[in-house]
Amino acid sequence: MEKKITILPGDGIGPEVVASAVEVLQAIETRFGHKFELDYALIGGAAIDAENNPLPEETIAKCEASDAVLLGAVGGPKWDNNPSHLRPEKGLLQIRKHFDLFANLRPVAAIPSLLDASPLKREVAENVDLLIVRELTGGLYFGEPRVLTDEHAVDTLAYTRKEIERIVDTAFNLARVRRGKLCSVDKANVLDSSKLWRQIVEEKKAQYPDVEVEHNLVDSVAMKLITNPAHYDVVVTENMFGDILSDEASVITGSLGTLPSASMRSDNFGLYEPVHGSAPDIAGQEKANPAATILSAAMLLKYSFGLNEEAAEIERAVNAVFEKGLFTGDLAKTGSRVLSTSEWTKEVLAEI
Ligand code: NAI
Ligand code: MG
């Protein structure tokens, strides 16, 4: 298979973890006989420094000409006092909106050799395998009108039928190829946008008879996600609820350094990035855990290219390295050996 991938390293540890993921992609190319053409471009602080623009036209053009995008992370103290249009995070919001990446997928699965890193009891965390599907381009974060005066502030939670239908369809289709369970999260006892959301999920049920559906209110799900996370398979929800619940769910398995994500639209194009940020505190020191970005590259192969076997091979290799008790500093137990970013990456490459 021949495919084009735009690589956006970004800031802080972004370039380090992306370099690891690129090596893994190259190992997959060799082993499975594919050709991935990689094209590098600027985003975030790196783009502000070079072009005075967090998302230059040239970056958009390169992404448009490719089949998928792999991103590291953006941001850092250097740009913290910039005006809002010159903030690195602006580049990230703009790229999601420009490409209409409405479906944010965040899988959270227990890794047996990492269970000690979870703040939850082993028996609560050990069978967790869930996928949060967060609506990413609508809802409260994008609603109009917005008003802010000294006396009055307004944000609007608005959804159209079309916006809800496409995210709900995405979630049903994912549930279907997983364990066939869908939990739709809303606040239908209070919000009209949630009533429409729930009504559409009910209408759609008939099209997916193989999927078991439950509705949950966001406040009670916030509790159950921690007390009984293994209950959940696919969880679908609006933008802000998904933002909060996915951060909550990310602690179940214990480390930010292992969590990947995908942001998709209706075709197979997608943007893949680790859940963590640019970690300026450890940048440039070979301390970053590249697992989240390597696993994001696996999601890229699976969701954008349909290369399921190749994606599974990356996941297997990452887990095998953990099983051997080989960890970067964020996961290593006190007194045990700490691998650098490139040492840990070499272990994964050796597995593949
Ligand atoms: P962060 O996720 O960058 O770091 C939080 C903590 O986790 C730090 O102690 C960091 O060292 C550690 N950490 C994160 N990723 C790690 C990895 N792969 N391996 C080992 N340790 C890791 O979040 P923080 O500190 O709140 O934000 C730092 C910068 O990143 C800010 O400028 C923020 O705006 C930006 N950010 C960017 C995101 C993105 O590009 N998608 C997402 C979140 C934050
Ligand atoms: Mg968030």
Specify the pLDDT at position 116.
82
The per-residue b/e assignment along 34-58, b for 16 or more CB within 10 angstroms, e otherwise, is: bebeeeebbbbbbbbeeeebbbbee
Which residues have beta carbons under 5 A from ligand 2 (an ion)?
243
- Whether the pLDDT of residue 190 is over 80: the answer is yes
- Whether the pLDDT of residue 269 is over 90: the answer is yes
Are residue 189 and residue 302 in the same domain, yes or no? no
Are residue 54 and residue 9 in the same domain, yes or no? yes
Atom of ligand 1 nearest to the CA of 292: 18
DSSP tag of 140: G
* 17-38 residue pLDDT tens: 999 999 999 999 999 999 999 9
289 Cβ below 6 A of ligand 1: yes
Identify the band that residue 141 occupies on the pLDDT scale cut at 50, 70 and 90: confident
Are residue 70 and residue 36 in the same domain, yes or no? yes
Identify the band that residue 61 occupies on the pLDDT scale cut at 50, 70 and 90: very high
CA–CA distance, 16 with 294 (Å, rounded to integer): 11
Is 247 known as a binding-site position? yes
95 Cβ below 6 A of ligand 1: no
Rg (CA), the chain: 20
Are residue 92 and residue 139 in the same domain, yes or no? no
Report yes or no on whether pTM surpasses 0.90: yes
Q: Per the domain annotation, does 116 fall within a domain? A: no
Domain residues for the domain of 138 are 129-251
In this predicted model, which residue has the larger pLDDT, 16 or 97? Answer: 16
- Return the bridge partners of 37, or none: 4
Q: Per the domain annotation, does 290 fall within a domain? A: yes
- Whether the pLDDT of residue 93 is over 80: the answer is yes
Active site residues: 141, 187, 219, 243, 247
Q: What are phi and psi of 271, to 5 degrees?
A: -115, 130
Q: What's the whole-number mean pLDDT along residues 128-149?
A: 94
Reading the block at residue 164, the tokens are 């809800």
Number of domains in the chain: 2
Q: How many CB atoms lie within 10 A of CB 144?
A: 9
Specify the pLDDT at position 245.
95
Is this complex scored with an ipTM above 0.90? yes
Q: What's the whole-number mean pLDDT along residues 300-314?
A: 97
* Residue 207's CATH number: 3.40.50.2300
Atom of ligand 1 nearest to the CA of 79: 32
Q: What's the whole-number mean pLDDT along residues 295-305?
A: 97
CA–CA distance, 152 with 174 (Å, rounded to integer): 41
Specify the pLDDT at position 27.
98
Identify the band that residue 260 occupies on the pLDDT scale cut at 50, 70 and 90: very high
Specify the pLDDT at position 164.
98
